[in-house]
């Protein structure tokens, strides 16, 4: 009986351990929760800081609204010279910041324009003294930079057209090959204009396309464009054959444009060259 009592009797020592344990367990849990929370907060502070300052910088260089290119989910659309200027170049060139030639200030641009389009384009693409490469926006494509250059220089009296490389004229052999490829793969749509394809003889449709430059057209023909199938839907067609087909189409379209320009007065067809900068 005495043994039995011994076993169940709570000594003061037991009592203290039990009490301390009871107090500590929740205390420890609370302590850990607090530490965890502080840890999360501390961690959150850091990744936040970078985008914020980046945003602030962007906001300062780009006072005219958001760039489409900043949304990673937005499809890449080649912007016009005016858009490129407003979104990127105006950050400095609107005010002449950092000693940049000011927009529409013919005196600022005269000598620079005298260097010729290609030098200006190279400087805009690669950077030049305090002029950052691509105006500081690496998302701009070469063509967008070229359009930005043309937009600014033409606003100050130049008459440049946006292109990236001087386009070599296709040889007679290329054109002959292109004609054959075209007849076989492209005429089905582009002779008739079916499905919205630009008819080869449609001067109005081709004038702005030709302005975009051959690289653009090659790319559209090889990879497909709005409604235009890649390689005319013939996946066996080589890139080279697709290119010469485009060469042929452009040659034909140019002829159509020239013919339209030679039409008597009432047509008043503007020479295509007046739309530079678009």
CA 216 to chain centre: 14
Rule CB under 6 A: say whether 277 interacts with ligand HEC.
no
Show contacts with ligand HEC in window 58-87 (CB under 6 A): 84
Among residues 108, 112, 77, 111, which one has the least CA distance to residue 93? Answer: 108
Tokens found for residue 125: 């693409």
Applying CB under 6 A, the span of 51-59, 66-74, 120-128, 263-271 interacting with ligand HEC comes to: 120-128
| Residues within window 219-248 making contact with ligand HEC, judged by CB under 6 A | 220-221, 225-229, 231-233, 237, 242, 245-246
Smallest distance from ligand HEC to CB 33, Å: 49
Q: How far is the CB of 41 from ligand HEC (least distance, A)?
A: 36
Round the CA-based radius of gyration of the chain to a whole number and report it.
Answer: 34
What is the dihedral sign for C-alpha 187, 201, 171, 164? Answer: negative
Provide, rounded to whole angstroms, the least separation between the CB of residue 267 and ligand HEC. Answer: 24
Closer Cβ to ligand HEC, 101 or 170, answer by number: 101
- Only one of the segments 34-42, 186-194, 256-264, 269-277 lies at the binding site for ligand HEC (rule: CB under 6 A); that segment is 186-194
Structure tokens at 6: 């011994």
Both tokens of 159, joined, read 């008459």
Burial of 89 (0-12, 13-18, 19+ CB in 10 A): buried
Q: Please give the C-alpha separations between residue 171 and each of 175, 211, 251, in angstroms, as whole numbers.
A: 6, 21, 11
Applying CB under 6 A, the residues found at the interface with ligand HEC are 84, 88-89, 91-93, 97-101, 112, 115, 119-120, 123-124, 128-132, 134-136, 140, 145, 148-149, 185-186, 188-190, 195-198, 209, 217, 220-221, 225-229, 231-233, 237, 242, 245-246
């Amino acid at each position: 009986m005495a043994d039995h009592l011994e076993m169940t009797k709570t000594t003061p020592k037991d009592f203290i351990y039990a009490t301390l344990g009871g107090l500590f367990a929740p205390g420890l849990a609370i302590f850990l929760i607090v530490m965890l929370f502080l840890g999360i907060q501390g961690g959150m502070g850091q990744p936040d800081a970078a985008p914020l300052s980046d945003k602030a910088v962007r906001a300062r260089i780009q006072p005219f609204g958001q760039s489409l290119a900043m949304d990673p989910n937005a499809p890449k659309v080649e912007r016009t010279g005016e858009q490129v200027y407003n979104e990127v170049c105006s950050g400095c060139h609107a005010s002449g910041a950092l000693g940049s030639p000011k927009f529409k200030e013919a005196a600022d641009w005269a000598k620079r324009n005298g260097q010729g389009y290609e030098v200006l384009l190279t400087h805009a693409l690669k950077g030049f003294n305090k002029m950052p490469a691509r105006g500081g926006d690496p998302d701009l494509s070469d063509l967008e930079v070229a359009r930005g250059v043309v937009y600014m220089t033409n606003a100050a009296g130049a008459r440049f057209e946006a292109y990236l490389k001087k386009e070599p004229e296709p040889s007679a052999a290329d054109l002959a090959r292109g004609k054959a490829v075209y007849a076989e793969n492209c005429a089905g749509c582009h002779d008739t204009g079916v499905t919205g394809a630009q008819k080869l003889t449609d001067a109005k449709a081709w004038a702005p396309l030709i302005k975009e430059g051959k690289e653009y057209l090659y790319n559209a023909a090889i990879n497909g464009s709005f409604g235009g199938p890649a390689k005319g839907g013939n996946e066996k067609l080589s890139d080279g054959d697709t290119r010469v087909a485009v060469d042929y189409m452009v040659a034909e379209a140019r002829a159509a444009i020239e013919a339209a320009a030679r039409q008597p007065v009432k047509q008043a067809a503007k020479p295509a060259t007046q739309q530079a900068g678009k």
